Structure 1
């Protein structure tokens, strides 16, 4: 079968022929419906090397940590799945027996340092292939929902959902405001998730007019990235500031913007892994402001994300590519030429 492999640091992934995987005990073989292309993948093959980056992400492996597919074959000891049924894959893969993993929080696995990989598609062969093996506990049923369009929900949906859920106390009640900085695939879903879970007024900002237009169609008030950006955002809140800010970029200027517009006792969550820094000062921000980060989410939360998707509350915007076009999907991602989340669909 064909697979898109990360085989060497500082080089682009390549399509190669690999053997069809065989599901081991407790695993399910999926025929891949869709696999999302993520900026995290780009960091792996452009920024990491022997000295920088997690040891679990050393080459080589098949990319694709946002995956959906149809059940093809069951490994030993697996039951309760029917061939042809559609599932979304929970990517994080911890040890399975520590306290965090027992709660479905594989992203916080206490034994992560001893694991041979971080996730399906991040160290372990992922979904940029015709078939992929997955632990049965990592499968979330999609029912009759479109599995191809659902693929990005495994990360681009789950990551902002987790961040929004953690911030819900700040958005409870009437008259609250939320700000989304960065309106790529995660940011667009964050706008929809906030609207689905809260009554907050959503403000969204980006330098891309087309991205802001899409956010506006989902009910957000938009602010461009001009020199008076912070003043405009504060004006929309009546000068009080934003109760919960979600920075989907994570570079120094966006973190600084978030801290300029956050309200007294507000919360800023840096979701984007832009490696930005912020010089905090006690008198430089309103009192009791929380500045925090987040990482992916739990398998239970992915079930909740799928519930929203099946109910029509959130809809990822996707741009489809065949498996042969997978390298092109990453080229367009790097060049900023995508209108939605790139999804590689081997059946296309």
Structure 2
């Protein structure tokens, strides 16, 4: 089968022939409908060095945002999993035995340091291929929804959903304001989720005018970059600041902008994994506001994301690429030329 393989650190991936996988006990073989290309993939092959935090040992097939059709059941898989049915794949894979995994929170597995991989497409073969294997309990049924367009929801939908859900107490009630920084794939869906789950005024900011225009179509009030960015955000809130902020970039300047826009008692969730830092001072930090971080989400939350997708409340913006053009998708992603999410389509329906 054809697959996009991360072969070595700091080296662009290759499109090559790979053996078709076989499902083990408790797994299914999935014929891949769509695999989203994510900036995390770029970090895997471009930035991580051997032994550095987050680095995963090559080689393996990329792709941690996946959806497809069940092709074959492994030993012990219930026949309630229907061959031919479309499913979205929950990517993180924990030990399956600790307290966090028992709650479906594989991203926070207590034994992650001893695991051979983090997730499908992150240490274990992912979905940038014609076929992939998946633990059966990590499948979320899609029904008659399009699995190609659904593929990015496995990360670009689940990650903002988890962060926003954690912050909902800060957005309950009238007159609340939420801030979204970074309007790429995650930020755009984040704007939609905030509109669906809260009555807050959603303020969104990005340096790209076309990204701001898309957010405005989904109900956000937008602000550009520049020296007056924080001042303009505070003006929209009447000077009080925002009750919850979500930084989908995660560099030091964007964290600083979000912190500068916070209201007293607010919550800043840093979602983007770009290594930015934040300096705390008692005299400048708004009272009882805090900075936290979130990572991906739970398998139960992915079921909720799919419910919202099937109900038409969230709509990923997808640009499709044939399997033979998969490397071009990554080149354009690195160049900042992708609007929304690039999805590689290895198989026709």
How far does residue 15 in structure 1 lie from its aligned partner after superposition? Answer: 0.9
How far does residue 279 in structure 1 lie from its aligned partner after superposition? Answer: 1.4
Q: Which residue does the alignment assign to 1:300? A: 300
Q: Which residue does the alignment assign to 1:33? A: 33
Aligned 1:28-177 pairs, distance under 5 A? 28-54=28-54, 57-79=56-78, 80-177=80-177
Q: Which residue does the alignment assign to 2:208? A: 208
How far does residue 53 in structure 1 lie from its aligned partner after superposition? Answer: 3.3
For residues 2 and 53 of structure 1, the distance between their equivalents in structure 2, rounded to whole angstroms, comes to 30
Q: Which residue does the alignment assign to 2:263? A: 263
Q: TM-score, normalised by structure 2?
A: 0.98
For residues 339 and 197 of structure 2, the distance between their equivalents in structure 1, rounded to whole angstroms, comes to 25
How far does residue 50 in structure 1 lie from its aligned partner after superposition? Answer: 1.8
Preserved CA contact (<8 Å) 2:31 2:347? no
For residues 309 and 167 of structure 1, the distance between their equivalents in structure 2, rounded to whole angstroms, comes to 21
For residues 154 and 248 of structure 1, the distance between their equivalents in structure 2, rounded to whole angstroms, comes to 16
Alpha-carbon displacement from aligned partner over 1:163-200 (angstroms, at most 9, x marks no partner)? 00000000001110000000000000000001111111
How far does residue 245 in structure 1 lie from its aligned partner after superposition? Answer: 0.3
Could you say what secondary structure the match of 2:238 adopts?
coil
Could you say what secondary structure the match of 2:332 adopts?
helix
Gaps of at least 5 residues in structure 1 are none
For residues 249 and 19 of structure 2, the distance between their equivalents in structure 1, rounded to whole angstroms, comes to 37
Could you say what secondary structure the match of 1:72 adopts?
strand
Q: Which residue does the alignment assign to 1:17? A: 17
How many pairs does the alignment contain? 347
- How large is the RMSD of aligned CA atoms in angstroms? 0.8
Could you say what secondary structure the match of 1:167 adopts?
helix
How far does residue 285 in structure 1 lie from its aligned partner after superposition? Answer: 1.6
How far does residue 51 in structure 1 lie from its aligned partner after superposition? Answer: 3.4
How far does residue 339 in structure 1 lie from its aligned partner after superposition? Answer: 1.4
Matched, 1:275 2:271: no
The runs of at least 4 aligned residues of structure 1 exceeding 2 Å deviation read none
Q: Which residue does the alignment assign to 2:287? A: 287
For residues 327 and 270 of structure 2, the distance between their equivalents in structure 1, rounded to whole angstroms, comes to 29
Alpha-carbon displacement from aligned partner over 1:234-286 (angstroms, at most 9, x marks no partner)? 01001110000000000011000011110000010000011111111111121
For residues 51 and 150 of structure 1, the distance between their equivalents in structure 2, rounded to whole angstroms, comes to 33
Aligned 1:329-340 pairs, distance under 5 A? 329-340=329-340
For residues 100 and 304 of structure 2, the distance between their equivalents in structure 1, rounded to whole angstroms, comes to 19
How far does residue 226 in structure 1 lie from its aligned partner after superposition? Answer: 2.2
Q: Which residue does the alignment assign to 1:188? A: 188
Q: TM-score, normalised by structure 1?
A: 0.99
Alpha-carbon displacement from aligned partner over 1:73-110 (angstroms, at most 9, x marks no partner)? 00001121112100000000001111110100000111
